[in-house]
Amino acid sequence: MPVLPFLPRVESTRNAALQERLQHRIDTKTKPLGALGQLEALALQLGLIQRSESIAFTSPQMVVFAADHGIAAEGVSAFPQAVTVQMVGNMLAGGAAINVFARQHGFALHVVDAGVAAEFEDHPQLIRHKIAHGTQNSCEGPAMSLAQVEQALQAGMAVMRGLPGNVVAFGEMGIANTSAAALLLARLAGLPLDDVVGRGTGLDDTQLAHKQSVLARALAKHAGVKDTLPVLAALGGFEIAMMSGAMLQAASERRVVLVDGFIAGAAALLACKLAPDLRDYLVFCHRSAETGHRLLLAHLQATPLLDLDMRLGEGTGALLAWPLLQSAALFLAEMASFESAGVSGKSQS
């Protein structure tokens, strides 16, 4: 049952009969057992999500959630907070890395204003769901109220209900959001803070030490907060909360969910706390160079498709992994079996 009555119901993809049929198809292709490695596991996962022995993708969507963070006032980023609104403008103008990759791979791109500390002119790719002009500083009090968390979750759900297709990739933009993600990971996964705090936008050693000190203060400020939604309210960000709601809605509609890097991973961690069966729908696309991401993936028992030493965010890692999903679908559909190709199988001895 959902933790909150407004959350969508996410069904497990478990289906023993379909899994057996899919695995048989994979195993009898003209190759040694397991020779396509992770691609075989990916094909199985996609087939179970779509409840089919043939995988088809329609109207792929790229959704970038953008918001500002009050903790940025503590100097935890190498860039000023103004970069959030500037980069959103760059995305709407078509000039960011995620625009390049979305055009390359045929993804429709939308940017969601979840809580940027500025106003935007109307734009066909802009979706307005601003909760506030940035969160509060979590070193001084809760970043969000519980009412704002609920509002953000529902807004993320509404975003997904308004978009077509059966596959969606999620990205983010927000100065200081690696701080929020690190705080959430440390508290929800019970990991040492210093192990999950990284350089974010490119901090040097002195700046990194300052960031660790600031985040330790924030974590101590909310030491007694343990439950998922209060933790999100105390430490998180509007874009992380909204992305979590969007992931839950996408899975309830049996969409394939492409998870990008550290920030999207933190949203996935939160959403899995609210609906554990969501994990079945998540394709973890790459391992970020951000320190905490490796530990986050391990906590979720996720093996990412790529490891390119990237730390850009925006959803870029998700779209770079997209051709692997296409390949998984195509080998399942088009690769011959030993029987159809007249090829001898492995010798029995």
Q: Which residues are catalytic?
A: 314
In the Cβ-directed half-sphere of 44, how many Cα atoms lie within 13 Å?
Answer: 20
Q: Are 54 and 158 in contact (CB under 8 A)?
A: no
**Where do the DSSP E strands lie in 116-268?**
126-128, 167-173, 256-259
* The two three-digit tokens of residue 322, written as one number: 């997209």
- DSSP class of residue 281 equals G
Q: Give CA angle at 11 (57, 67), nearest 5°.
A: 70
137: left (phi over 0), alpha (psi -120 to 50) or beta: beta
**Alpha helical stretches, state H, 72-191:** 82-92, 97-105, 146-161, 177-189
- What does the angle CA 19 – CA 293 – CA 1 come to, to the nearest 5 degrees? 50
With beta carbons less than 8 A apart as the criterion, state whether 297 and 319 touch: no
Listed in sequence order, the residues at least 6 apart from 20 whose beta carbon sits closer than 8 Å to its beta carbon are none
Q: Is 111 helix (H, G, I), strand (E, B) or coil?
A: strand
User: Alpha-carbon Rg of the chain, whole angstroms?
Assistant: 21
Q: Count CB-CB contacts under 10 A for residue 287.
A: 23
CB within 8 A of 24, min separation 6: which ones? none
> Phi/psi at 68 (nearest 5 deg)?
-105, 160
- To the nearest 10 degrees (0 to 180), the angle between helices 205-221 and 228-235 is 130
Beta carbons of 55 and 20 less than 8 angstroms apart: no
